[in-house]
């Protein structure tokens, strides 16, 4: 019986060793491990895992191909719905999506769907040269894509397959968006995975121009009116950090997680061959409880600091993935739960020397169903530190709205788009974090693919 086999554990770097390097924590499955794990799948008639996947990958079908040893066929099944399997297999919150709905998980351990997806994605990257090149007939229509993160890459590759001439405009000097600047090397290797996923998109004929800030270097209107793009997809993400608005936030040594991770990941501050300035001091406090907070605190630890998470709710409410929290604890990260900063303390030269906090307790659930934290009177205390990293979420850059007439945003600064990705301005579509605010890679990718379909429909209707 398939479900009598225990879940195949995944090999990982030893916590003591990995807390000092930036190599990938998790090694993934080899062929034998993947085949054995895949054989646990019950091939349900009504697979709940598919319904729980944001892009509805046909999970039992690809897993069945892995059991049979047909890895090319498995890759083909996944690629019908997902353009970044090696990325999603590593960074998706599977425990609350596909694996969280797996029937085997009711009484035992769910199938390791994420690790199997990663295995297939990596196999596809390794064997890319042997795959037949897609036969694409160009249709003579041009589409511009803003941003080369997951939503932009997914939208561009789908449009290119349909025959469109697609050009991606990227503001930074490296392609990949949040995959490159946000997610650390130890969770998602840049050269091994991201760069090669980008190569696959270029092979479809997509052109990518870096160092172009749309809204500054060129406007959307210029792209459409002067450069002949019939539609534009905005996948520019959410890179504007949020702060708490407490005293002392402008002291030297207070940074956003965004800036801290960008310096480390994109500008390789962790590599001694690079001169990227980064200041971690001896003790770092990271405020927040999401995946970005975990990425920042684990990065600070690897850069040599004592690193602590401060979060105002309890561990049960942590929004970060269970695996990330587990890895952080193994690496010696301290967690201060039910703790809320009230101010940041500086010395006479304007440098951070500590953070003042109060203890919290959980009250009644609010409208989101999460229990609201309430301050405990007289519980003030201080944590000495040299650096405070704010990981409180991000919102989209307002530049595109400011430079494009008729583009509406909501009160959070996110672009308003319908379920098909159409914005309030004809011919302009949007998806990913620019629309939802900071969310997951797979949701951004799904939005990019939906928008590609809508753009195709829009341009076809215009022709008639």
Run means of pLDDT, 10 residues per run, the chain, 464 residues: 79 94 95 96 94 94 97 94 93 93 93 97 91 85 97 96 97 94 94 92 94 96 96 95 96 96 83 80 96 96 96 93 94 97 97 97 84 92 97 93 95 94 96 93 94 97 77
pLDDT score of 83: 87
pLDDT score of 380: 96
pLDDT score of 288: 97
So what's the architecture of 140-237+395-460 in CATH?
A: 3-Layer(bba) Sandwich (3.50)
pLDDT score of 128: 85
Question: Could you tell me where in the chain the CATH 1.10.1060.10 domains are found?
Answer: 9-128
DSSP-derived pairing of the beta strands 283-287 and 387-390: parallel
Q: Which residues contact 318 (CB under 8 A, 6 or more apart)?
A: 289, 290, 311, 325
Exposed e or buried b for every residue in 352-366, given b needs 16+ CB within 10 A?
bbbbbbbbbebeeee
User: Which SS3 state, helix, strand or coil, does residue 247 take?
Assistant: coil
pTM for the predicted model, two decimal places: 0.92
At the topology level, CATH places domain 239-391 in FAD/NAD(P)-binding domain (3.50.50)
Of the candidates 413, 333, 406, 283, which has an alpha carbon nearest to the alpha carbon of residue 19?
333
pLDDT score of 436: 94
pLDDT score of 122: 96
**Helices within 231-384 (DSSP H only):** 257-265, 291-302, 322-330
Is-contact 29 10, C-beta < 8 A? yes
CATH no. of 9-128: 1.10.1060.10
How many CB atoms are closer than 10 A to CB 460? 12
Question: Could you tell me where in the chain the CATH 3.50.50.60 domains are found?
Answer: 140-237+395-460, 239-391
């Amino acid at each position: 019986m398939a479900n009598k086999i225990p879940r195949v554990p995944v090999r990982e770097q030893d916590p003591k060793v990995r807390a000092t390097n930036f190599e990938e924590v998790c090694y993934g499955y080899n062929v034998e491990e993947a085949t054995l794990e895949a054989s646990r799948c019950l091939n349900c008639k009504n697979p709940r895992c598919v319904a729980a996947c944001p892009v509805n990958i046909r999970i039992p079908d690809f897993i069945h191909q892995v059991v049979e040893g047909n890895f090319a066929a498995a890759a083909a099944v996944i690629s019908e719905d997902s353009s970044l399997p090696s990325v999603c297999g590593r960074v998706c919150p599977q425990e609350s999506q596909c694996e969280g709905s797996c029937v085997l998980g009711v009484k035992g351990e769910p199938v390791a769907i994420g690790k199997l997806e990663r295995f297939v994605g990596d196999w596809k990257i390794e064997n890319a040269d042997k795959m037949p090149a897609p036969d694409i007939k160009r249709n003579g229509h041009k589409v511009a894509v803003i941003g080369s993160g997951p939503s932009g890459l997914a939208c561009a590759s789908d449009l290119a397959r349909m025959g469109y001439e697609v050009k991606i405009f990227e503001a930074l000097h490296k392609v990949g968006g949040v995959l490159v600047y946000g997610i650390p090397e130890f969770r998602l290797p840049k050269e091994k995975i991201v760069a090669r996923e980008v190569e696959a998109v270029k092979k479809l004929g997509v052109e990518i121009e870096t160092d172009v800030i749309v809204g500054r270097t060129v406007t959307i209107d210029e792209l459409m009116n002067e450069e002949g793009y019939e539609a534009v997809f905005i996948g520019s993400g959410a890179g504007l950090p949020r702060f708490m608005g407490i005293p002392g936030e402008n002291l030297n040594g207070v940074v956003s997680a965004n800036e801290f991770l960008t310096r480390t990941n994109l500008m390789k501050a962790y590599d001694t061959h690079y001169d990227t300035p980064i200041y971690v001091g001896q003790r770092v406090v990271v405020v927040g409880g999401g995946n970005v907070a975990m990425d920042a605190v684990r990065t600070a630890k690897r850069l040599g600091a004592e690193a602590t998470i401060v979060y105002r709710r309890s561990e049960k409410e942590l929004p970060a993935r269970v695996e990330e929290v587990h890895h952080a604890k193994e690496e010696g990260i301290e967690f201060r739960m039910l703790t809320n900063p009230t101010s940041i303390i500086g010395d006479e030269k304007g440098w951070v020397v500590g953070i003042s906090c109060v203890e919290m307790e959980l009250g009644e659930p609010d409208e989101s169903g999460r229990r609201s934290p309430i301050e405990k009177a007289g519980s003030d205390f201080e944590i000495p530190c040299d650096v405070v990293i704010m990981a409180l979420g991000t919102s989209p850059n307002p530049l595109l709205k400011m430079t494009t007439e008729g583009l509406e945003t909501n009160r959070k600064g996110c672009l308003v788009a319908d379920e098909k990705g159409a914005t309030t301005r004809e011919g302009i579509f949007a998806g990913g974090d620019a629309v939802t605010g900071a969310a997951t890679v797979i949701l951004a990718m799904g939005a990019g693919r939906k928008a590609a379909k809508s753009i195709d429909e829009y341009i076809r209707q215009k022709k008639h």
